[in-house]
Chain A
Amino acid sequence: MSRAAHSLMRVFLYALVFLILFVYLFPLIWQFSTSIKHLDEVFRGFNIFPAQPMWENYQVAWSSFKVGRYLLNTVIVACTVTLGQIICCSMAGYAFARLRFPGRDAIFYLYLATMMIPSTVTLIPSYIIVLELGLVDSISGLILPFIFGSALGTFLVRQYLMSIPGDLEDAAKIDGAGYFTIWTRVMLPMSKPALATTAVMTLVSQWNSLVWPLIVIQSDRWKVLSVGLADFRLYRNIQWNTMMAAVVTATLPMIIILFMAQRFFIQGIQFSGMNK
Chain B
Amino acid sequence: MWRKRRFRQEAIAGYLFVAPNLIGFLVFQLIPIVAAVGLSFTAWDLINDPQWVGLANYRTLLKDPVFRLSLQKTFLFVIINVPLQSVLALIIAVLLNQNIRFQNLLRTLFIVPWVSMSVAVGLTWTWIFNSQFGIINQILQRLGMQRIPWLASQDWALPSVIAVNIWQYLGFHIIVFLTGLQLIPREVTEAAIVDGASAWTRFWRITIPLVSPILFYDLIVNMIGTFQIFDLPFAMTNGGPGNATRVYNLYLYQKGFQFLRMGEATAMAVILFLLIVATSVLFFRIIGRRINYDIT
A interface list, Cβ under 8 A from B: 13-14, 16-17, 20-21, 24-25, 27-28, 30-31, 34, 42-43, 46, 87-89, 91-92, 94-96, 99-102, 104, 107, 110-111, 114, 116-126, 128-129, 131, 144-149, 151, 154, 179, 183, 204, 207-208, 210-211, 214-215, 225-227, 229-230, 232-233, 240, 243-244, 247, 250-251, 254-255, 257-259, 262, 265-266, 269-270, 272-274, 276
Contact = CB atoms under 8 A, between A and B. Distances in A.
B107 interface: yes
Nearest to A117: B33
B32 interface: yes
A149 to B, nearest CB: 4
A13 B100 contact: yes
B92 A20 contact: yes
Contact of A230 (B32, B218, B235): B235
Contacts of A119: 228
Nearest to B214: A274
B14 A250 contact: no
A154 B7 CA distance: 23
Contacts of A104: 14
B217 A250 contact: no
B120 A274 contact: no
Contacts of A95: 13-15, 17-18
A215 B23 contact: no
A126 B127 CA distance: 35
B13 A179 contact: yes
Contact of A99 (B14, B23, B46, B257): B14
A244 B130 CA distance: 14
A125 B266 contact: yes
A99 B17 contact: yes
Interface residue SS majority, chain A: helix
A145 B24 CA distance: 7
A155 B104 CA distance: 26
Given A128-B46, A262-B104, A272-B221, 12 more contacts: A96-B18, A101-B15, A114-B25, A118-B273, A121-B269, A121-B272, A124-B36, A125-B266, A148-B23, A210-B230, A269-B175, A270-B179
Given A107-B18, A120-B272, A121-B273, A229 B115 contact: no
B135 A250 contact: no
Interface string B103-124: 0101111111101111111011
Contacts of B137: none
Nearest to A269: B175
A210 B138 CA distance: 32
B117 A149 contact: no
A254 to B, nearest CB: 4
Contacts of B214: 274
B109 A266 contact: no
Given A107-B18, A124-B265, A254-B115, A274 B217 contact: yes
A192 to B, nearest CB: 18
B175 A91 contact: no
B120 A250 contact: yes
Given A122-B33, A122-B36, A131-B46, A101 B115 contact: no
A238 to B, nearest CB: 10
Interface of B: 7, 10-15, 17-18, 20-25, 27-33, 35-36, 39, 46, 92, 95-96, 98, 100, 104, 106-113, 115-121, 123-128, 130, 133, 135, 138-139, 167, 170, 172-173, 175-176, 179, 214, 217-218, 221, 224, 227-228, 230-231, 234-235, 238, 249, 252-253, 256-257, 262, 265-266, 269-270, 272-273, 276
Given A27-B128, A123-B269, A118 B227 contact: yes
A35 to B, nearest CB: 10
B23 A226 contact: no
A107 B18 CA distance: 10
Given A46-B138, A124-B269, A13 B98 contact: yes
Contacts of B98: 13
Contacts of A269: 111, 172, 175-176
Given A148-B25, A149-B24, A230 B133 contact: no
Contacts of A13: 95, 98, 100
Interface centre among B13, B106, B218 (most CB of A within 10 A): B13
A129 B33 CA distance: 12
A66 to B, nearest CB: 15
B175 A266 contact: yes
A124 to B, nearest CB: 5
A266 B103 CA distance: 12
A148 B266 CA distance: 24
A168 to B, nearest CB: 18
Contacts of A46: 135, 138-139
A92 B253 CA distance: 33
B35 A101 contact: no
